[in-house]
Amino acid sequence: MKLMNRRAAFPFKPFSRKQLQLLNWWRDGSPHANNFIVMADGAIRSGKTTAMIASFLHFTQERFSGRDFILAGRSVGVLKRNIITPMMLMLNAWGWPFEFNRSDYVLTIGTNSYYLFGANNEKSQDVVQGMTAAGALLDEAALMPQSFVEQVLGRCSVEGAKVFMNCNPAGPYHYLKTDFIDRATEMGVYRLRFSMDDNLTLSAETKARYHRTFKGVFFQRFILGRWVQAEGVIYDMFGDAAIIDTLPADLDSAYHRYIACDYGTKNPCVFLDIRYNGVEALVVDEYYFDSTAERYQKTDQEYVADLERFIADSEPDYLVIDPSAASFRAALRQRKHKVRDADNEVLDGIRVVASLLSLGRLKVHRRCEKTIGEMHAYVWDEKAVKRGAEQPLKEHDHAPDALRYFCKTVVRNRELN
Q: Quick count: other Cβ atoms within 10 Å of Cβ 68?
A: 17
> Is the pLDDT at 178 greater than 90, yes or no?
yes
Residue 390 neighbours by CB under 8 Å, 6+ apart: 170, 171, 230, 347, 380, 384
Span 77-95, mean pLDDT?
95
Residue 388: CA count within 13 A, CB half-sphere = 13
Predicted confidence (pLDDT) per residue in 21-75, tens digit? 999 999 999 999 999 999 999 999 999 999 999 999 999 999 999 999 999 999 9
Task: Tell me the C-alpha distance between 371 and 397, whole Å.
Answer: 9
Q: Do strands 281-289 and 269-276 pair parallel, antiparallel, or not at all (unpaired)? A: antiparallel
Look at residue 417 in the predicted model and tell me its pLDDT: 55
Task: Tell me the C-alpha distance between 271 and 320, whole Å.
Answer: 10
Look at residue 123 in the predicted model and tell me its pLDDT: 87
Confidence of residue 368 (pLDDT cuts 50, 70, 90): very high
HEC letters along 292-339:
HHHCCCCCHHHHHHHHHHHHCCCCCCEEEECCCCHHHHHHHHHCCCCE
What are the Cα distances from residue 184, in Å, to 36, 39, 131, 155, 191? 10, 9, 26, 20, 7
Q: Quick count: other Cβ atoms within 10 Å of Cβ 121?
A: 12
Q: What sign does the CA torsion over 349, 197, 190, 226 have? A: negative
Look at residue 388 in the predicted model and tell me its pLDDT: 80
Predicted confidence (pLDDT) per residue in 376-397, tens digit? 999 999 888 888 888 899 999 9
**Direct distance between the N- and C-terminal alpha carbons of the chain, in angstroms, rounded to an integer:** 32
Look at residue 49 in the predicted model and tell me its pLDDT: 97
Query: Which domains does the chain carry?
Result: 17-207 (3.40.50.300), 240-415 (3.30.420.280)
Predicted confidence (pLDDT) per residue in 325-340, tens digit? 999 999 999 999 999 9
Maximum Cα–Cα distance across the chain: 72
Q: What are the φ/ψ torsions at residue 392 (nearest 5 degrees)? A: -70, 150
Which pTM value belongs to this model? Answer: 0.82
Nearest Cα to 375, choosing from 270, 263, 225?
A: 270
Predicted confidence (pLDDT) per residue in 221-274, tens digit? 999 999 998 889 999 999 999 999 999 999 999 999 999 999 998 899 999 999
Confidence of residue 416 (pLDDT cuts 50, 70, 90): low
Predicted confidence (pLDDT) per residue in 136-176, tens digit? 999 999 999 999 999 999 999 999 999 999 999 999 999 99
Look at residue 1 in the predicted model and tell me its pLDDT: 40
Span 306-322, mean pLDDT?
94
Confidence of residue 414 (pLDDT cuts 50, 70, 90): low
Q: What sign does the CA torsion over 32, 171, 144, 140 have? A: negative
Span 303-320, mean pLDDT?
95
Nearest Cα to 76, choosing from 101, 112, 49?
A: 101
Nearest Cα to 332, choosing from 344, 342, 343, 318?
A: 318
Written as one letter, the residue type at 358 is: S
Look at residue 2 in the predicted model and tell me its pLDDT: 45
Task: Tell me the C-alpha distance between 138 and 149, whole Å.
Answer: 8
Q: What are the φ/ψ torsions at residue 167 (nearest 5 degrees)? A: -170, 160
Mean pLDDT of the chain, nearest integer: 94
